[in-house]
Amino acid sequence: MKVFRYLVAAAGVIALASVTVFAGTSAAHNATVAKACNASIAIEAPLTGPVAQLGLEQLAGAKAAVGAYNKADGVHVTLGQDDTQLTPALAVTKTAAIISSNAVAIVGPSGSQEVLAVGPALTTAGLAAISGSATNVTLTTNGADKTFFRVVATDGVQGPQDANYILKHEKPKAVLIIEDEEAYSTGLGGTIQQILTAAGVTVNVQSFNGQDTGATLANDLSSIVASQLNAAETVTVMPIQEAADAQQFAEDAKQAGKTTLVFGTDGTDSSSQFFFPGSLVSNFAPDIATVNSKLDKTVTKQIKAAGTYGPFGVPSYVAAAVEVNAIASVCKAGKTPSRSNVLAAIRKTNLPANANPMGQVIKFKADGDLTTSQFYLFKINASGKYIQISTK
């Protein structure tokens, strides 16, 4: 009967699909036939979903770095893409796919939750993972993942720096902290809150659902402005991931006639979306599109050619560059790149400050954090440009 025809067809399709999936999983990340120095790495980022912009910027950064350093080091490294949608369960599946393939290193995962979820699997496989955006402090201290590195400073650096700057320069009596109920936000917000409270400042912590969009988001922010923002709160800290939300809050406050200094963290660094004059933004790297050095101009051009340029692209660029360099050094020593020797090579990375667009020395400690890490501070001037100021 007709149902049966469909059933057999469906079974055939599933069988075919299963064969291709189960037989061809390595095809996705396969290196070409081993001639010269060939290897493959993979990037795990949220390429679709609510934070797709972050993932796409990281992808562009990684692609640009792989292209540039392939040429510079004379190697042939291919980059595979894996979309995790910032969901830990999906990250576990994609990591398993990467582990089963030939990839020798990973750029990512992007989210702290994902790193927590895939850590044990990565350690068992001995696969190095360098993240450009997972900033939760416990990732390197809880010992769950011994092959995890990151090229950005942790919340443990950004939080105190921001809080101390506020205390020293703004001397507020009360501060409003607005979080977006995501892991990044609550961690950073908590750190800042502790320091401010210890210094005697009244801290008012509010949060809105960071996944809200549209009219609901407008309602959230305008409600906070109407009911929470009072005259004593001269500084509003927004450790959130969506720069446009900071801009909207600032404008809502202005419309309601309330003055407050909006202080955004690295998630809000985006000159096209957050440009409210007088605000402060802290970030782990300057926006290299505005810097005049030759290296930064070249890197900006490369990233723009590879996809969409944005602040999250630069750390992924550096992460991918570190991995390609490690692979090249393994090949130069005459060995075939494998996970263990690439991991060892990554541990020996020493990239000087003027050779990478992040402007700081890239050298890892034993637990995977950078040896020196700094955060930059920017003030937005009257025409919406980011001017770097001293953090002292």
The string of DSSP codes covering 256-309 is TT---EEEE-GGG--TTT---TT-EEEESS--GGG---HHHHHHHHHHHHHS--
Q: Which of residues 258-277 bind another protein (CB under 8 A)?
A: 272-273
**Angle subtended by helix axes 112-125 and 183-198, to nearest 10:** 110
For residue 360, state whether it binds another protein (rule: CB under 8 A). Answer: no
Classify 209 in phi/psi space as left (phi over 0), alpha (psi -120 to 50) or beta.
Answer: beta
Which one of 64-72, 94-102, 162-170, 316-324 is the stretch in contact with another protein (CB under 8 A)?
94-102
Which one of 162-170, 253-261, 343-351, 370-378 is the stretch in contact with another protein (CB under 8 A)?
253-261
Q: Which of residues 12-71 bind another protein (CB under 8 A)?
A: 13-14, 16-18, 20-22, 24-25, 27-28, 47-56
Which one of 4-12, 286-294, 334-342, 373-381 is the stretch in contact with another protein (CB under 8 A)?
4-12
Q: How far is CA 123 from CA 58, 117, 129, 276, 370, in A?
A: 23, 12, 10, 44, 19
CB nearer another protein, residue 31 or residue 167: 31
Q: Are 115 and 127 in contact (CB under 8 A)?
A: no
CB nearer another protein, residue 90 or residue 288: 90
For residue 115, state whether it binds another protein (rule: CB under 8 A). Answer: no
What DSSP character marks residue 86? T
- Number of residues located near another protein, criterion CB under 8 A: 97
Q: Which of residues 188-207 bind another protein (CB under 8 A)?
A: 206-207
Q: Which of residues 297-356 bind another protein (CB under 8 A)?
A: 308, 310
Classify 265 in phi/psi space as left (phi over 0), alpha (psi -120 to 50) or beta.
Answer: beta
CB nearer another protein, residue 84 or residue 356: 84
Residue 361 C-beta: closest distance to another protein, Å: 30
